[in-house]
Structure 1
Amino acid sequence: MSRDGFNPEVFFNKCNGQGPFVVLIRVQSKKIYGDYNPIGYTGRSRWLSSTESFIFSFENDQDINNMKISRSTNDDNSILDCRQNSGYFFNFGDMLYVNRQYLRIGYCTLHYDNVFNKNQFPIDEIEVFNVKYL
């Protein structure tokens, strides 16, 4: 994604209708955040229900032992399937979302366990990986 820029339209064109995916986001502090979306996106601007979605963080790309993970506490509203022109890349219950060039964390604790401090970070890089089940 980063090589293509931080553009929601590019994100939707590459991910829309592709099924489950994992997103890794490295912020300027070198901390890594991510999420797993087991459903995928359609761009219909609606809440999606999932018992399998989660968000996570690593202190840096060299230390995978210091990981935090947060699972959905409100499965009916665990993922917001954002509209293509909304300015959002993705939204996990307002606990972790990307709006333009910033990662925003911890703004709403209604849908996920609160293991992250409320904050926003400029993004260095975003990578998206399609998940295929065997």
Structure 2
Amino acid sequence: GSRDGFTPKKFHELCDNKPSTVTFIKIKGTDEIIGGYNPTVWLSSGGYGKTKGSFVFSFKSKNNIKDAIISNVENIDHALNYNSATGPTFGSDIVVYNYINDNYSETNDYNYYYSRKYYYEKMVRDTEDKFSIDNYEVFQIMKQ
């Protein structure tokens, strides 16, 4: 995000149609990192993406990996969200998008983030409150 920008448009330019990505989101004001793995591809076609291999995760602290939470997808038909106005969004469980004046925006920086339990096994945060982020990164996992 800090290198390439915090807009849905930039996310989709760089990440659409690229398989096997992992997303890391640093939550502002905490040591917490949340994210997820997408074994298929990101798209901006609308609707939900289907996969059984996706999972979301959280690390509460860099000092204690034992507190990590990993949550596998339960409803494979809603594993991913393919909205052009969102960034890396896992079902409705980890949501990153821009919402201004009752409208979604593809070109403005993200301003709306939350994590809840909908389509994955369990919550990865202790709260459903909206949050801000310091940064996010999406990496593609490549086979050698």
Q: TM-score range by the shorter chain?
A: 0.7 to 0.9
**TM-score, length-normalised on structure 2?**
0.81
CA deviation profile, 1:65-101 (whole Å, cap 9, x unmatched): 2101111111111111122xx2x10221211111213
SS in 2 for 1:124: strand
Distance 1:122 1:64 in 2: 22
Distance 1:3 1:61 in 2: 23
Cα shift at 1:62: 3.5
Distance 2:140 2:53 in 1: 16
- Give the corresponding residue for 1:104: 114
Distance 1:96 1:111 in 2: 10
Give the aligned residue type for 1:118. Answer: E
Alignment of 1:6-45 (within 5 A): 6-28=6-28, 29-45=30-46
Distance 2:88 2:78 in 1: 13
Cα shift at 1:102: 3.7
Q: Which has the higher strand share?
A: 1
SS in 1 for 2:67: strand
Distance 2:61 2:90 in 1: 21
Instruction: State the Cα RMSD in Å.
Output: 1.6
CA deviation profile, 1:109-128 (whole Å, cap 9, x unmatched): 33112323312211101111
SS in 2 for 1:9: helix
Cα shift at 1:47: 1.4
Distance 2:76 2:31 in 1: 30
Q: State whether residues 31 and 62 of structure 2, in contact with CA within 8 Å, keep that contact through their aligned partners in structure 1.
A: yes
Count of residue correspondences: 129
- Give the corresponding residue for 1:77: 78
Q: Percent identity?
A: 28
> Structure 1 stretch 56-65 or stretch 118-127: which is displaced more?
56-65
CA deviation profile, 1:39-59 (whole Å, cap 9, x unmatched): 111211121111110000001
SS in 1 for 2:60: strand
Q: State whether residues 102 and 123 of structure 1, in contact with CA within 8 Å, keep that contact through their aligned partners in structure 2.
A: no
Cα shift at 1:103: 2.6
Say if 2:69 is the partner of 1:61.
no
Structure 1 moving runs of 4+ over 2 Å: 60-65, 114-117
Unaligned runs of 5+ in 1: none
Unaligned runs of 5+ in 2: 98-109
